[in-house]
Structure 1
Amino acid sequence: MSRSLQFFTPSRAPYLTLHKLPSTSYTRFPVINFPSKKHYITITKSLSSDLDAASSQVLDSGNGQTGVSGVLSADNVVAVQSHAPSESGAAAGIEVDAVTEAELKENGFRSTRRTKLICTIGPATCGFEQLEALAVGGMNVARINMCHGTREWHQMVIERVRRLNEEKGFAVAIMMDTEGSEIHMGDLGGAASVKAEDGEIWTFSVRAFGTPRPERTINVNYDGFAEDVKVGDELLVDGGMVRFEVIEKIGPDVKCRCTDPGLLLPRANLTFWRDGSLVRERNAMLPTISSKDWLDIDFGIAEGVDFIAISFVKSAEVIKHLKSYIAARSRGSDIAVIAKIESIDSLKNLEEIIQASDGAMVARGDLGAQIPLEQVPSAQQKIVQLCRQLNKPVIVASQLLESMIEYPTPTRAEVADVSEAVRQRADALMLSGESAMGQYPDKALAVLRSVSVRIEKWWREEKRHEAMVLPDVGTSFADSISEEICNSAAKMGKNL
């Protein structure tokens, strides 16, 4: 994978350091310095049915407040746990992560899981206790989606994440995701979601409605919506999660019949198809970064977020312009720009967009609304592979564990999907509705963590390090020699 460990560690969050350990002794570890705390690490014997007979050493922390513990196995795998004593003095175990012994010596008890986990923060997870639970469960990045909520609400979330890092010693970064200028639904009258049933008639309108709004009526943010659609067009909501057929146009109102039922979410993206083809002429005329997006970007710069993700990127020029804007507005800022690949235009200009950005996100939901569904897996693999070749971090997002919005366990197909993203060496996996408004955000995060850790362990055990063709960086003869020396040194360090 590319620079996942460094990239998804925020510069503003405290680092949890561990001094180098003696290579010959495992009876007493040095002190781990957490903010305002000291953790003494000792080793005891343990029997575990989940590990082989060679797994005999257990790390344990006796700081009296919170700590870590883990199992040292024969292949140097450490299963790390965080625990706090109960009132009776017994430790209650909460699984946190899995690291190797060598990584533990070098990096301390920061998360050294290769695949980083991003959680979208929403009504279900915006409280301080909920954020702490996600951080304990392995959240590396908290994502705020500017499609939803007010700037005051997002500022509150950012302050809580900062407080979490300062008081609890976590290192959670913050990613701000812009809304983009594509066609969106409006809010649903304050409702978190609304179910559209098969055969129901819904009205999509550009009119502004008072409170209460008419039943089964949805606002659209694009004034020319009623003019552009035609009777018989197919309307896709949120990348095809719900589908409607246009049956009538009455002034600014468009009457539609639900053909594929599903859950409608506020500010969901809208696309429409005609005669089997995506109608995209109007979207192509819209700017990538809207006036609202620029205000949100100013907000993100002022709040010092770690990443800004730009929706519906069409060309590298947009990324370059935004980077220049950030540099001018905040000198010395290290805000990284993530390009969201979610449109046909993004795929056409993929390499130049990734080259210009600091990382990419495979937004499969909206991408699946613009290309045939059967092409999404190959598009994902192409994007991930190109990012690895260009040494840019890549995030796989959208509908990873969609069923866990309502159910406590994922489908087996979802687990296979997550494992495939890890096998492709994606740097990060992202939860959207699962953590923002789902009923089981902690469990969804636990599934991502356990699956990614298991696949990474399998990958190490099988030593599956496939060859990858990297692009030439050097342009002169001297640069080419330096590049070959660096490549040889990297291969020696990896294989010897």
Structure 2
Amino acid sequence: MSTMIALSALTPDYVETTKPGSILSSIDVDSVTEAELKENGFRSTRRTKLVCTIGPATCGFEQLEGLAVGGMNVARINMCHGTREWHKGVIDKVRRLNEEKGYAVAIMMDTEGSEIHMGDLGGASSAKAEDGEVWTFSVRAYDDTLRPERCITVNYDGFAEDVKVGDELLVDGGMVRFEVIEKIGPDVKCLCTDPGLLLPRANLTFWRDGSLVRERNAMLPTISSKDWLDIDFGIAEGVDFIAVSFVKSAEVINHLKSYIKARSRDGDIAVISKIESIDSLKNLEEIILASDGAMVARGDLGAQIPLEQVPLAQQKIVEVCRQLNKPVIVASQLLESMIEYPTPTRAEVADVSEAVRQQADALMLSGESAMGQFPDKALTVLRSVSLRIEKWWREEKRHEVIDLPDIASSFSDSISEEICNSAAKMANNLEVDALFVYTKNGHMASLLSRGRPDCPIFAFTTDTLVRRRLNLQWGLIPFRLDFSDDMETNLNKTFSLLKARGMIKSGDLVIAVSDMLQSIQVMNVP
């Protein structure tokens, strides 16, 4: 097999491949991307992808459309909250949005995991714990009307046995803190030492002598019985990603992927590992290698390691994911203050900026978009900060190339990897306007994304599912397009369609690669 590099300052023969009346229906691209390209040009398109958690504040069709217009690439549903029927309603609305408006918003389902967490607070949206108050944490199953005052149910039957008097109990990673003062059967009496707001189903951890008590997790499976039912639901609904909470080893991921393959019609739901525990960090590389992507779940991670170590852990996870060519999402408390306020703190903006500078594939809103008062404004902040920092990065670090390790497992994959690495470097050196990649399974598009070139990457695929999955990866603008194995025909058709929509113009410099033909082609748009 030979690898060909075809360089041409001239253009191939220009062939009109579609009738005028069929141009608009021959290629699928969302209206926001189209408008950005027309108004701002190639260099100003956003590279960092945005994930929004959908909740009561954003579950209507109009609200979802507003998020899509604002730049949402992936809609996340969190199985910790709501019923499966409610989540199905959200999925149906996102699908309708994609079908009617041409978007490629992917759907990510997040499992609850076997973490220890609080109950639903008797239907209340929140409860305030004040300094010096005594609260009871119990494994009893209370009827909401009979629940004692200041009593919180816990989902873990062994909670009262595992905890000891003097332990420190952290709610939601330390947002509220208690000291265990007494144990009475299944009830644990706790004194509030750091007041704060208690939210339904908040995560619980406890510390003893300054160290996290980890034994409580030893008997808890990564995927609970409820999670398996939720996973069956996700498979039946055809979600694009399943994010698994509290992953401890690659074995769990491999088992889940086999389970999905045996039950899914397409067998192609991507599995995202949430890195949020000490065990996850210990087995980081093997977990990411087995997964289709990772999420830096900083909230729960910060409850298991010292807070000052979280930024270093984030950077490490992002680096490993890029080396292994796996998309990575930075999540948790990016714009936490915007749950209540219309503007972020300066520290939050700096936090978002750092994640963009690290070139994470995606940033995620949690409570900000699920239950916050200003979900659209929070998304606007993520988008505007991403655009500004990306622009600065291109100006300051222009043509910077990071040597990445070889990850290919076969000779054919090695060729694809070398072609994509070379294409990304050439794109920077020649200052091309865009990279075109024709891909049936998305692999070569992801390899180009891994190189983080200065220009945007137009990823053309025949598969709608692949198009949605590519919408999570840095720098990719996914299109659905029917194409053949003949590159010249594909390029002529693409130029015709995109020029008709005003997305490219004559004279633009383009590099094209394909997973059907091992070559790099450089040309000007006719």
Q: Same fold (TM over 0.5)?
A: yes
| Greater displacement, 201-210 / 466-475 | 466-475
Structure 1 counterpart of 2:153, which letter?
N
Give the superposition deviation at 1:68. Answer: 7.1
Which of 42, 54, 57 is residue 101 of structure 1 equivalent to? Answer: 42
1:385-396 → structure 2 map (5 Å cutoff) = 385-396=319-330
How big is each residue's C-alpha offset from its partner over 1:88-116, in whole Å with a ceiling of 9 and x where there is no partner? xxxxxxxxxxx63379xxxxxxxx52111
Give the TM-score of the pair, scaled to structure 1.
Answer: 0.77
Q: How many residues align?
A: 413
Query: Is residue 493 from structure 1 mapped to residue 427 from structure 2 by the alignment?
Result: yes
Shift in alpha-carbon separation, 1:476–1:304, aligned structure 2, 3 A: closer
> For residue 125 of structure 1, what is the aligned residue in structure 2?
58
Q: Name the CA distance, whole Å, in 2 between partners of 1:36 and 1:390.
A: 31
SS at match of 1:247: strand
Q: Name the CA distance, whole Å, in 2 between partners of 1:138 and 1:428.
A: 12
Query: Is residue 304 from structure 1 mapped to residue 238 from structure 2 by the alignment?
Result: yes
> For residue 33 of structure 1, what is the aligned residue in structure 2?
24
> For residue 142 of structure 1, what is the aligned residue in structure 2?
75
How big is each residue's C-alpha offset from its partner over 1:253-288, in whole Å with a ceiling of 9 and x where there is no partner? 111111122222211111100000000112022111
Structure 1 counterpart of 2:122, which letter?
G
> For residue 248 of structure 1, what is the aligned residue in structure 2?
182
Give the superposition deviation at 1:201. Answer: 1.6
> For residue 430 of structure 1, what is the aligned residue in structure 2?
364
SS at match of 2:330: strand
Contact 1:31 1:38 in 2 (8 A): no
Q: Name the CA distance, whole Å, in 1 between partners of 2:59 and 2:203.
A: 23
Which of 109, 112, 116 is residue 183 of structure 1 equivalent to? Answer: 116
Q: Name the CA distance, whole Å, in 1 between partners of 2:412 and 2:92.
A: 49
Shift in alpha-carbon separation, 1:301–1:485, aligned structure 2, 3 A: closer
1:168-179 → structure 2 map (5 Å cutoff) = 168-179=101-112
Which of 353, 358, 361 is residue 287 of structure 2 equivalent to? Answer: 353
Shift in alpha-carbon separation, 1:378–1:465, aligned structure 2, 3 A: farther
> For residue 284 of structure 1, what is the aligned residue in structure 2?
218
Give the superposition deviation at 1:214. Answer: 2.0
Q: Name the CA distance, whole Å, in 1 between partners of 2:283 and 2:324.
A: 15
Q: Name the CA distance, whole Å, in 1 between partners of 2:224 and 2:121.
A: 22
| Greater displacement, 482-491 / 427-436 | 482-491
Q: Name the CA distance, whole Å, in 2 between partners of 1:36 and 1:475.
A: 33
| Greater displacement, 264-273 / 421-430 | 264-273
SS at match of 1:354: helix
Structure 1 counterpart of 2:42, which letter?
E
Contact 2:135 2:150 in 1 (8 A): yes
1:188-267 → structure 2 map (5 Å cutoff) = 188-212=121-145, 213-267=147-201
> For residue 514 of structure 2, what is the aligned residue in structure 1?
none
Which of 42, 49, 55 is residue 116 of structure 1 equivalent to? Answer: 49
How big is each residue's C-alpha offset from its partner over 1:42-95, in whole Å with a ceiling of 9 and x where there is no partner? xxxxxxxxxxxxxxxxxxx9xxxx99756xxxxxxx585xxxxxxxxxxxxxxx
Query: Which of the two has greater helix per residue?
Result: 2
Bigger relative CO (Cα 8 Å, ≥ 6 apart): 2
SS at match of 2:24: strand
Query: Which of the two has greater strand per residue?
Result: 1
Q: Name the CA distance, whole Å, in 1 between partners of 2:63 and 2:367.
A: 15
Q: Name the CA distance, whole Å, in 1 between partners of 2:33 and 2:118.
A: 46
SS at match of 2:178: strand
Structure 2 counterpart of 1:184, which letter?
H
1:465-476 → structure 2 map (5 Å cutoff) = 466-473=400-407
Shift in alpha-carbon separation, 1:204–1:380, aligned structure 2, 3 A: same
SS at match of 1:189: helix
Contact 1:35 1:168 in 2 (8 A): no
Shift in alpha-carbon separation, 1:484–1:301, aligned structure 2, 3 A: closer
Q: Name the CA distance, whole Å, in 2 between partners of 1:235 and 1:411.
A: 28
Q: Name the CA distance, whole Å, in 2 between partners of 1:326 and 1:416.
A: 39
1:161-172 → structure 2 map (5 Å cutoff) = 161-172=94-105
Shift in alpha-carbon separation, 1:249–1:302, aligned structure 2, 3 A: same
Give the TM-score of the pair, scaled to structure 2.
Answer: 0.73
Contact 2:28 2:102 in 1 (8 A): no
Unaligned ranges ≥5, structure 1 = 1-19, 24-28, 40-60, 71-77, 81-98, 104-111
Contact 1:120 1:432 in 2 (8 A): yes
Q: Name the CA distance, whole Å, in 1 between partners of 2:395 and 2:194.
A: 44
> For residue 6 of structure 1, what is the aligned residue in structure 2?
none
Q: Name the CA distance, whole Å, in 2 between partners of 1:36 and 1:319.
A: 35
1:321-340 → structure 2 map (5 Å cutoff) = 321-340=255-274
Q: Name the CA distance, whole Å, in 2 between partners of 1:69 and 1:300.
A: 33
Q: Name the CA distance, whole Å, in 1 between partners of 2:326 and 2:409.
A: 20
Shift in alpha-carbon separation, 1:462–1:202, aligned structure 2, 3 A: same
Unaligned ranges ≥5, structure 2 = 1-10, 15-19, 431-526
> For residue 294 of structure 1, what is the aligned residue in structure 2?
228
Give the superposition deviation at 1:31. Answer: 9.6
Q: CA RMSD in A?
A: 3.0
| Greater displacement, 283-292 / 417-426 | 283-292
Q: Name the CA distance, whole Å, in 1 between partners of 2:217 and 2:295.
A: 20
Shift in alpha-carbon separation, 1:393–1:451, aligned structure 2, 3 A: same
Structure 1 counterpart of 2:203, which letter?
N
Q: Name the CA distance, whole Å, in 1 between partners of 2:371 and 2:287.
A: 31
Q: Name the CA distance, whole Å, in 2 between partners of 1:37 and 1:302.
A: 25
